[in-house]
Amino acid sequence: MGSDLLAALALMLVLEGLLPFASPDLFRRLLQHAAQLDDRGLRISGLMSMLIGVVLLYLVRH
């Protein structure tokens, strides 16, 4: 189980690094946009990201 968690963390880091590597300008603009969101907007986007992740994990595992 620990190795699965470590593999998931490694994959998350690879995926998060794709956008800044491929398009630094777009990444900067997205960060600027995120910095302008209020707490509620950031929480909603975080919740949506988590829900999408849970659904994808469920689909992959079943």
Instruction: Give tens-digit pLDDT for 15-24.
Output: 999 999 999 9
Q: Give dist(CA 24, CA 18) in Å, integer.
A: 10
Res 50: pLDDT: 95
Domain tally, the chain: 1
pTM of the model: 0.72
Centre a 10 Å sphere on the Cβ of residue 6 and count the other Cβ atoms it contains.
10
Which residue range forms the structural domain that includes residue 6?
Answer: 2-61
